[in-house]
Amino acid sequence: MKKLICFSTFIFAFGLQTISAQVPGYQGKRFFIGYNASSFFYCPNFTFENGLLGIFELTRISYKTEVNVNYALSRKVAAGFSYYTAKQNDAFTNDQIQNYGYMQPTAGIAQCKLAIYEIHFQFFRKNFIAPAGLYNQLSVGIVKYGLATPDNKLTVYSTNLGGSGNPPLILTGPAEKYTCYKLGYAIGKTNPIGHNFYINTALGVNFFRGGDAAYVKTTPSTQNYILANFNKNLRTHNFVEIKIGLGWIAF
């Protein structure tokens, strides 16, 4: 609690200082807080054989929410911290089912809960001044993900042994969340509304590398079944994202 109070006092004092000084920013304000919802469609089972109809049938929409805190470092650069959270329904692909002993969740999907902790830099494009206008954003973050079930267990059955009539197999999720790294790029636009608010829109691409994902390419087994499926779907869901959000240009 003490830390929080100290941090808040620091931010408040810093904010006051920036208001009274001749500084860049939006009418002298450099500190801004935002909320974004991000989404994109994806086709987990898309193959060319399925054709266009297959695309529409199999297309899913992904959702993520993000809260970010940013500070305009200079006329052209802003830095910030984002926290993302999402609960994604991962459909298991035929390919995955076959590779992992024909196992698939009893519910047809597995829920994955993820959280991303990210730092990012926004470089405002020609003629725009931070924090308003077009920007290129580079980000790096840590992704924590795992089962969304309360007991951290996934019930699967093997289709190879006769379908859903077989006794289910209960897989336990990892004691600690899976981890991987996210490298992101986005192009966005911050459009101030009045003196204190803004609307943000952005289109981004994300690459998930390293961490537990390194195990994916090892031999498929029931042990890495959850990881392999979640990681694969994580990449698919979040490779492209469109963000729309609101923000508060605080001080």
Partner 1 sequence: MRLLINFFFCFALTTSVVAQTIPDFNNYQPIKCVGLIPEDFRTLSQDKFKNDVKTEAKAAKNHNVSSSKEEFLLETNYIIDQLLLSGKVLFGDTVTEYVNKVADRVLVNQPELRGKLRFYCLRSSEANAFSTNQGIVFVTLGLIAQLENEAQLAYVLSHEIAHYERHHTMNEYIRNEQIFSKNDQYKYSNSDDQIRAASSYSKELELEADSIGLIRLSKTGYDCDAALSSMFVLQFSELPFEDFEFNASILENPVMVLPKDLFLDTVQKINLDNDKEDDTYSTHPNVAARRKKLEIILDDLTGCGNQDFTMSAKTFFFIRKICRFETVRILVNERDYVAAFYNTYVLQKEDSTSNYLRLCMGKSLYGIAKYKNHDQYSDVSDFYGKKEGNQQQCYYLFQKASAVQMNMIALRYLYNLSKTDSSFFVTSMRNDLADEAVRLNDVHFEDMKKTYALYLEIKNAPVVDTTKAKVIDTVKVAVQTDDADSKVYVSKYDKLRKEKKKQDLTQAVETKKSDASKFYLLAFGDVMDNASVKAMFDLAEERTTTKNAADKLVQDKRDKMSSYELRKEEQYGANEMRKKGMSLGIDTVVYVDPFYVMADDHKGIKFIQSETEQLEFCNQITENAGYAKLSIDVLNPKTFGANDVEKYNDLSILNDWIGERVAHEDEMEMVPMETDRMIPLMKKYNTSHFCYTGIYTVKQKREDRGFIIFFSIICYPILPFGIAYALSPEYNTYYYTLMYDANTGKPDVSREVHIKSKSKKGFINSIMYDMMVQIKREKKTTTVTR
Which sign does the torsion angle of CA 201, 42, 208, 83 carry? positive
Q: Does 127 bind partner 1 (CB under 8 A)?
A: yes
Structure tokens at 232: 């694969």
Distance, in Å, from the CA atom of 231 to the CA atom of 13, rounded to the nearest integer, reads 43
> CB of 246: closest distance to partner 1 in angstroms?
13
Cis amide prior to 168 (ω within 30 degrees): no
Q: Does 196 bind partner 1 (CB under 8 A)?
A: no
Stretch that binds partner 1, among 60-68, 113-121, 193-201, 211-219 (CB under 8 A): 193-201
Which sign does the torsion angle of CA 178, 184, 188, 192 carry? positive
Cβ atoms of 195 and 249 within 8 Å: the answer is yes
Q: Does 247 bind partner 1 (CB under 8 A)?
A: no
* Comparison of 42 and 145: residue with beta carbon closer to partner 1: 42
Give me the amino acid identity at 15.
G
Q: Does 191 bind partner 1 (CB under 8 A)?
A: yes
Least Cα distance to 92 among 44, 150, 163, 46 occurs for 44
> CB of 198: closest distance to partner 1 in angstroms?
7
Q: Does 205 bind partner 1 (CB under 8 A)?
A: no
Cβ atoms of 47 and 55 within 8 Å: the answer is no
* Comparison of 108 and 194: residue with beta carbon closer to partner 1: 194
* Comparison of 55 and 250: residue with beta carbon closer to partner 1: 55
Cβ atoms of 43 and 60 within 8 Å: the answer is yes
Among the listed residues 67, 129, 142, 246, the single contact to partner 1 using CB under 8 A: 129
Q: Does 27 bind partner 1 (CB under 8 A)?
A: yes
Cβ atoms of 205 and 248 within 8 Å: the answer is no
* Comparison of 20 and 219: residue with beta carbon closer to partner 1: 20
Stretch that binds partner 1, among 60-68, 95-103, 130-138, 208-216 (CB under 8 A): 130-138
Q: Does 55 bind partner 1 (CB under 8 A)?
A: yes
User: Strand, helix or coil at 103?
Assistant: strand
**What character string, x for contact with partner 1 (CB under 8 A) and - otherwise, covers 64-103?**
----------xxx---------------------------
* Comparison of 27 and 166: residue with beta carbon closer to partner 1: 27
β-strands 178-193, 133-147 pairing: antiparallel
Q: Which residues are at the interface with partner 1 (CB under 8 A)?
A: 22-28, 55, 74-76, 126-129, 132-134, 189, 191-195, 198
